[in-house]
Amino acid sequence: MIWLVGHHGMLGTEVYHRLRARKLEHVATDLDVDITDRQAVSGFSDPSALSWIVNCSAYTAVDRAEDEPERAFRINADGVRNLAWAARQKGARLLHISTDYVFDGRKEGAYLETDPPNPSGVYGRSKLQGEIYIRENIDRHVILRTAWLYGPAGANFVRTMLRLFQERDEVRVVADQWGSPTLAGDLADAIIQIITRETIQYGIFHFTNEGRTNWFEFASLILELARKHHLVDRQVRLLPIKTKEYPTRALRPANSYLSKEKIKAVFGIPVRPWQEALESFMNDMASHSGKT
């Protein structure tokens, strides 16, 4: 039995669809089980039946976290500790989703799983504390760090850009923050591959789509593909700007590029280029909208 936590979120929705499609025995919860309530978590599910807890829930409001750190830590740290305790109590394994924000973004080149974390903001610190609680409380765990996540469910950069392309004649996008976009469905596929394996190597792994880009280049391809698939049929001018021209409450990492070599080597998981994943996503959006 697999317990999927956070099945209404952007990633959780994709994992949920795959569990159902594969007919894998599972139970899915969202706000109906409060992970910050230790008794609610430990009292959920039959201990003898549970093999994995997959945690796709999180507090992800990066800027708002600066003003409500207690809530961010309650969900991203204390809630995760409760899940780790429950997994250990029930003899289950824990797969947890973490983030590039555990790094400060000052490194040149790809971040490895062995690089020391140094988060700059509340969100990153809360996610790092969740990782620490997992390592302290359960040996049989997989922590997947990801970045720049987008998909059909929930708010994300791709959907925001598509909305702005319809509303504005000019869109300004940061061009000096680097990383790799991640299609939620591709990350969900990786999760399913891990939790259905007979043998597992535990620890921290990175997963995004392959290739390095910046937000402006990402937005440029979104616009190109949106025009190709008739999701945008008006003229829009994209302008690259610097981070300092778009101040935010929380500091964004200048470099969020994560190495995928470990997850490819250990699990043999294929990682397709971010451009290919985006093309697939935009094609699906057009199909569902009836424009292709």
Task: Give me the active site residues, please.
Answer: 123
The Cα–Cα gap between 47 and 42 comes to 9
Alpha helices in the chain (DSSP H): 10-21, 38-42, 69-73, 79-90, 122-137, 157-167, 184-195, 215-228, 261-267, 274-289
Using the structure block, give the residue that is written with the tokens 């409001």: 61
Give dist(CA 292, CA 290) in Å, integer. Answer: 6
Strands 178-179 and 213-214: antiparallel
- What angle is formed at CA 4 by the lines to CA 22 and CA 129, rounded to 5 degrees? 140
